[in-house]
Chains A and B, each alone.
Chain A
Amino acid sequence: GAGVSQSPSNKVTEKGKDVELRCDPISGHTALYWYRQSLGQGLEFLIYFQGNSAPDKSGLPSDRFSAERTGGSVSTLTIQRTQQEDSAVYLCASSLEGTRLGEQYFGPGTRLTVT
């Protein structure tokens, strides 16, 4: 079956521009997560959606970052007025509610480069 997909796979943008990153989770998965991995760093949690509950936004680094999840499925991560320090691989993951903790399935990521 189809896994988590993300688009675009690569994005190069100029400093100050806005970008949108898309995530299509596994069908039926109610939980969706965004992480990012900066060069030489581990994965950093950004935001978590679970069903109809209010999202956990505790990891968003600034108010330039926002995310939506429409219809409980597709999610978009938006970064406004991009800065060079936003350059990273942005990873999306999804999991099925009620499964054993840890089975978050990751997409291949979007590599964002801010010039």
Chain B
Amino acid sequence: DQQVKQNSPSLSVQEGRISILNCDYTNSMFDYFLWYKKYPAEGPTFLISISSIKDKNEDGRFTVFLNKSAKHLSLHIVPSQPGDSAVYFCAAAYNQGGKLIFGQGTELSVKP
């Protein structure tokens, strides 16, 4: 039972353009959502998060949007850079601390 889903295994974007990574969830009890970035042979690193009481959170080139009615969140990267090429995981939680439920990941490739 996959509670967090990333339906696009890969995405290719031209440098300077916008990257949009999508994530859907099924559990309405989730109240916190996060994006992690992972390079090969390294552990994931935290990128940005959003509480369920908000619908948008922005940090530099990265913005996360949350649509609770649709149980959907997205990560926008503008402008995309070649160094952004990595696997991006969305994750969800329903308490402060504790386990994270991850999606399968989307591999982003930003071409120069």
Contact = CB atoms under 8 A, between A and B. Distances in A.
Given A101-B97, A102-B49, A108 B41 contact: yes
Contacts, number: 63
Interface in B38-54: 41-46, 49
B43 A95 contact: no
Contacts of A33: 99-100
Nearest to A99: B97
A109 B49 contact: no
Contact of A109 (B43, B97, B98): B43
Given A31-B97, A45-B99, A48-B99, A104 B105 contact: no
Nearest to A30: B97
B96 interface: yes
Given A56-B98, A95-B97, A41 B43 contact: no
A97 B49 CA distance: 17
9 contacts: A33-B99, A42-B6, A42-B104, A45-B100, A91-B44, A101-B34, A102-B32, A102-B46, A106-B43
A48 B102 contact: no
A97 B102 contact: no
- Is chain B's interface secondary structure helix, strand, loop, or mixed overall? loop
Interface residues of B, number: 24
Q: Would you list the 3 A-B pairs with minimal beta carbon distance, nearest first?
A: A106-B43, A43-B102, A42-B102
Interface of A: 4, 31, 33, 35, 40-45, 48, 50, 56, 58-59, 91, 93, 95, 97, 100-109
A56 B98 CA distance: 8
B105 A42 contact: yes
B61 to A, nearest CB: 18
Contacts of A31: 97
